[in-house]
Amino acid sequence: MIASLPMYDRPEIRAATDSFWQAIRKALGRGPDTLTREGDPWDQWQSPDLLLSQTCGYPYRARLHGKVQIVGTPHYVLDGCGAGEYRSVFVARKQDPRSDPAEFSAAPFGYNEPMSQSGWAAPGAYAEARGFAFTDTRRTGSHQASARAVAEGQVDLAALDAQSWQLMQRYDSFADKLQVIAATSPTPALPFITANGQDADAIFSALQTAVEDLPSETRDVLDLRGIVRIPPEAYLAVQTPAPPPA
């Protein structure tokens, strides 16, 4: 069986992530000894041997719907978001006088991946709803790389997963050079998934038990407060804008 938790698996919180997995495994009564941290996430997400992983809402609605089951959704501690929600924050350099993302429409815009809800779909939908588009886009490969690119002047604006940004503020010194100028509307947070042949209800119960059993300091490191149920339809209803120009 395969278990992976790749979405926020920074080195600084890896021990807490491993503790979370061991708590899940204990509550479930089965599962691999350790998390898979090598290989292509797409291969893991689509494997019939997948016991548990975490994906993004955009990949789920674009390619994984019908091929996996949503187990549950994490409740992170995020400003402006309810249980099971997250959003994107737009970050610019602190000395940049522009305060509206529309002012950056023709400026270099950094995004992590084209199939990222928080890095591209949410900011793209935000722009479309306000009658503009980001026309000079630069793919960076990760939220951390996008933020660093803004700090170092390689791009002028980026949209970051709010939980990724929270971790950057905690661990990355370059975050001190950045400011949040706007945020998108909340959408369902990154779901935990399992293969179609697995017992999703039993895994959901194990996740809930694991969160409750974690020491409070471990929950604080993960910014994790619980697991909630959000139906697949809520993920499928999220707007998908046109892909980035580059």
Tens-place pLDDT, residues 139-189: 999 999 999 999 999 999 999 999 999 999 999 999 999 999 999 999 999
Residue 109's pLDDT is what?
98
Alpha-carbon gap, residue 197 to 48, rounded angstroms: 7
Torsions phi, psi for 2 (to 5 deg): -115, 135
> Does the pLDDT at position 24 exceed 90?
yes
Residue 97 to residues 151, 156, 181: CA-CA distances in angstroms?
15, 11, 10
Each residue of 32-88: pLDDT tens digit?
Answer: 999 999 999 999 999 999 999 999 999 999 999 999 999 999 999 999 999 999 999
Residue 246's pLDDT is what?
79
Tokens coding 105: 């429409």
Alpha-carbon gap, residue 195 to 76, rounded angstroms: 24
Please report where in the chains the tokens 């020491």 appear, as a residue. 215
Average pLDDT over residues 7-19: 98
Amino acid at 77: V
> Does the pLDDT at position 106 exceed 90?
yes
Q: HSE, CB side, 13 Å, CA atoms: give it for residue 170.
A: 14
Please report where in the chains the tokens 């995004």 appear, as a residue. 111
User: DSSP readout, the chain?
Assistant: -EE---TT--GGGHHHHHHHHHHHHHHHT---SS---SS-HHHHHT-TTEEEEE--HHHIIIIIBTTEEEEEEEEE--TT--TTEE-EEEEEETT----SGGGGTTSEEEES-TT-IIIIIHHHHHHHHTT----EEEE-SSHHHHHHHHHTTS-SEEEEEHHHHHHHHHH-GGGGGEEEEEEPPPEE-PPEEEETTS-HHHHHHHHHHHHHHS-HHHHHHHTEEEEE---HHHHHTS---PPP--
Q: Which residues contact 199 (CB under 8 A, 6 or more apart)?
A: none
Rg (CA), the chain: 18
> Does the pLDDT at position 239 exceed 90?
yes
In sequence order, the β-bridge partners of residue 63 are none
Each residue of 112-142: pLDDT tens digit?
Answer: 999 999 999 999 999 999 999 999 999 999 9
Average pLDDT over residues 8-21: 98
Structural domains of the chain, ranges and CATH numbers in brackets = 2-79+188-236 (3.40.190.180), 88-185 (3.40.190.10)
pLDDT band at 219 (very low <50, low <70, confident <90, very high): very high
Residue 17's pLDDT is what?
98
